[in-house]
Amino acid sequence: MSEMAKNLILWVIIAAVLLSIFQNFKEGPTPPTMSYTNFVDEVQNDRVRSVIIGGQIIEGEHHDGTRFRTVRPDVLDTGMMKDLLNHSVNVEGREPEKSSIWMQLLMAAFPILLILFIFMFFMRQMQGGAGGGRGGPMSFGKSKAKLLSEDQIKTTFADVAGVDEAKEDVGELVEFLSDPSKFQSLGGRIPRGVLLSGPPGTGKTLLAKAIAGEARVPFFSISGSDFVEMFVGVGASRVRDMFEQAKKQAPCIIFIDEIDAVGRTRGGGYGGGNDEREQTLNQLLVEMDGFEGNDGVIVIAASNRPDVLDQALMRPGRFDRQIYVGLPDIRGREQILKVHVRKVPLDESVDLHVIARGTPGFSGADLANLINEAALFAARSNRRLVTTEEFEKARDKVMMGAERRSMVMSEVEKTNTAYHEAGHAIVGRLTPEHDPIHKVSIIPRGRALGVTQFLPEEDQYSMSKRKLTSQLCSLYGGRIAEELIHGLDGVTTGASNDIERASQLARSMVTRWGLTEKMGPILYGDEESAMPGQGGKNFSGATSQLIDEEVRLIIDDSYARSTTLLKENIDILHAMKDALMEFETIDAEQVDDLMERRAVRPPRDWHDSDFDHSSGGTGASSDADVEAEVSKTDVDKPDAPIGDPVEGS
């Protein structure tokens, strides 16, 4: 019997009981009441025609037709009947009312029924109320999965952009859920599970919703952390309950977000084999591929760390498909932008392709945030349309932090920052294969005193040794500019972040990427894949010394090249400093003027209809094979305590 039917029957019974009680106590209009003394006077004065005596209640009628009512005192009164008869009063007796056997039983059982009803009410409240028994203190073993019916899911593949390959991989699931006979006739079976992996914000949850929306099937959504409780066995009970609900709704989809919270490799020293998390994982393994079949139930899981999942969970039969949802390329970013700007009024000057080129490494969530920030900037300026200027401000805010124009900088410090950023820009402009300059600014942003932004012209998936060396040269350009202007004693701590990034980059060139002849293409230490507490060093002390020497050689060579370039173009260094002091921010076109020793043109007018959207050298980069990706923005900040996060794009 359904929960709604049970509730209906309960309320019908309650209504019947209340109606019977009201009917039993229903009475007509009550006549006026007089005292017993007045009643005796009325009788003795021959004003009473008749009376009806029922227990202690006496109802009567005067000779003029008016009715009255009185209560006889609870004392022995033997003279009342004699007076009534002597004064010719018609006396009648009222038979005591007797309730039916059913009413007697009801009245006797009413206290018990009331206590039972109160007990049932509180038990239902403790189990989570009338909405299915979820979330109450007595529902430890109940699944916390949220069920969305096919009518509640409005997301389709049209709302998912930038992941075309992933959409193709999951397209068969939609066909199978819509028409399973097409595949079953050839001996195919529906996949039991699909694992979506990839960086945060790439649209894994959105893609799972789109699958359910396209297939028009129920959708159960739950997080991996919702299974695990402090009580052993609760997680396993929730897994069983969730699959029991799913079987009743089949065909359907179960979506488990952040499955690594419960699906990590067993036996990792987290309480042996009897802890709550491992029992939950064991139950999940049994439900996905045990003795009982789960036909029509597809499990879709999402994780940012598939490498930590248990191998038994990853095998075919449980997760038959593993789909990587990566960061979108330039074409994917443009598609994502088109989806998110549907409800945003754009100015004609906005070119989404240019914005896509200028957002390297942005995920779908980052792009949505970018559009929202641009809309907020436009609203603050009381504009009805979002222009290119707002998108530029939003991108700078997302990548480099908000402007701190209220920060007071002395003229000396501002001049030093201008020389520092000019050094980055000039070296980056003159070294081979370096990404083009997009913007140079001495406006403080976040923790940075100034920024030099480089953006590639097209997507990049690897970097050559020549390009990496150019990156090293430009990183040291700011410090060298300070040294040339103020001498070694005048160098500030503003290059601390540059030195840190350059050191990491040079060491990776030696130990991970095999870009030196002496050390060769050998991996020296794999700290990321090492087990906790074991470290990643797998080479001798002599090898460590050679690595240090090679790193120092690369850095010294890059430092010397940067010094030579800046000395040969010291006039440009001074001119760029002057331009930054005047305009605070210069773009690629103004940098070109300075490099060609021409007069610097005024800042770009973003609202000019003749603006060339193809200029500026904006672009995108993913550098997928370079795990320690070099930031495309040189962010210079004051020296900070060790352990502070490194800022960058």
Catalytic residues: 421
Q: Name the amino acid, one letter, at 640.
A: A
CA 31, 34, 40, 44 dihedral sign is: negative
In 350-495, where does DSSP find H-type helix?
A: 352-357, 364-380, 388-400, 411-430, 465-486
Going along 542-609, which residue ranges are E strands? 585-587
Unique residue bearing structure tokens 């989806």: 339
Instruction: Quote the radius of gyration of the chain (alpha carbons, Å).
Output: 42
- Cα(519)–Cα(449) distance, integer angstroms: 38
Q: Name the amino acid, one letter, at 481.
A: A
Beta bridge mates, 92: 52
- Cα(356)–Cα(164) distance, integer angstroms: 17
Q: Are 300 and 288 in contact (CB under 8 A)?
A: no
Cβ contacts of 620 within 8 Å, gap of 6 or more: 329, 330, 333, 356, 357, 358, 359, 360, 361, 362, 455, 456, 458, 459
- Cα(122)–Cα(117) distance, integer angstroms: 9
- Cα(418)–Cα(222) distance, integer angstroms: 52
Q: What is the DSSP string of 210-231?
A: HHHHHHT--EEEEEGGGT--SS
- Cα(290)–Cα(282) distance, integer angstroms: 11
- Cα(592)–Cα(603) distance, integer angstroms: 13
3-class secondary-structure state, position 601: coil
Long-range contacts of 287-291 (CB under 8 A, 24+ apart): 287/239, 287/240, 287/243, 288/192, 288/193, 288/313, 288/317, 288/318, 289/192, 289/317, 289/318
- Cα(210)–Cα(205) distance, integer angstroms: 9
- Token output for 575: 């001119």
Unique residue bearing structure tokens 């923005």: 633
- Cα(202)–Cα(497) distance, integer angstroms: 29
Q: Please report how many Cα atoms fall inside a 13 Å half-sphere around the Cα of residue 108, on the Cβ side.
A: 7
Would you give the DSSP letter of residue 257?
A: E
The answer to whether the peptide bond before residue 251 is cis (omega within 30 degrees of 0) is yes
- Cα(48)–Cα(65) distance, integer angstroms: 9
In 179-215, where does DSSP find H-type helix?
A: 181-184, 204-215
CB atoms within 10 A of CB 475: 29
